[in-house]
């Protein structure tokens, strides 16, 4: 097991997430050996929630947006098209639809091989996801208000 892999294995996952978050002056709301949750108060006044899940050699970062639908049929295709086009211009992250609590939720995610994740990369990914999701929500709220 490489040094980077061992940083995120078992109990080390918890310690590494807490250490990396602390180095960015962020607080971890929940963490165990497989997942973490961080909450961020954004300049918009909204709160964004970042989930980190550990899978074998990969970490999944995910920020679910406020935009959700009860069924796949309700998802506006134009919105999916816009977000898919936006994916091509993003360095960190991609838009997807996740099923969360029975709802279809637009989420902004990033998957990374554990061996690539150091404290700097961790920070770049987290900030990119938070800002993209918050920007999207702000646009959606303006459109529908």
Phi, psi of 50 (to 5 degrees): -110, 130
Task: Please choose, from the candidates 39, 37, 40, 29, the residue with its C-alpha nearest in 3D space to the C-alpha of residue 53.
Answer: 37
What's the chain's average pLDDT? 92
Q: Is the pLDDT of residue 11 over 80?
A: no
3-143: CATH topology is Yope Regulator; Chain: A, (3.30.1460)
pLDDT of res. 8 = 76
Structure tokens at 15: 């310690």
pLDDT of res. 1 = 44
Q: Give CA–CA dist 23/94, Å, rounded.
A: 25
Phi, psi of 119 (to 5 degrees): -65, -35
Extents of the domains making up the chain: 3-143
Within 13 Å of residue 113, how many CA atoms lie on the same side as its CB?
4
Q: What is the pLDDT of residues 93-135, one digit of tens each?
A: 999 999 999 999 999 999 999 989 999 999 999 999 999 999 9
Average pLDDT over residues 45-69: 95
Output the pTM of the full model: 0.91
Confidence of residue 5 (pLDDT cuts 50, 70, 90): low
pLDDT of res. 143 = 83
pLDDT of res. 129 = 98
Q: Is the pLDDT of residue 55 over 60?
A: yes
Average pLDDT over residues 76-102: 94
């Amino acid at each position: 097991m490489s040094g980077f892999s061992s940083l995120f294995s078992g109990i080390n996952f918890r310690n590494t997430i807490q250490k990396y978050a602390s180095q960015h002056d962020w607080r971890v709301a929940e963490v165990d050996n497989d997942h973490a949750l961080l909450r961020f108060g954004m300049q918009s006044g909204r709160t964004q929630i970042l989930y980190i899940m550990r899978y074998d050699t990969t970490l999944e970062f995910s920020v679910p947006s406020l935009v959700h639908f009860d069924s796949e049929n309700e998802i506006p295709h134009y919105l999916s098209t816009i977000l898919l086009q936006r994916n091509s211009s993003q360095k960190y992250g991609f838009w997807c639809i996740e099923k969360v609590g029975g709802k279809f939720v637009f989420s902004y995610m990033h998957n990374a091989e554990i061996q690539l994740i150091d404290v700097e990369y961790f920070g770049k990914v987290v900030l990119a996801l938070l800002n993209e999701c918050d920007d999207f929500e702000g646009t959606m709220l303006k459109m529908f208000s």
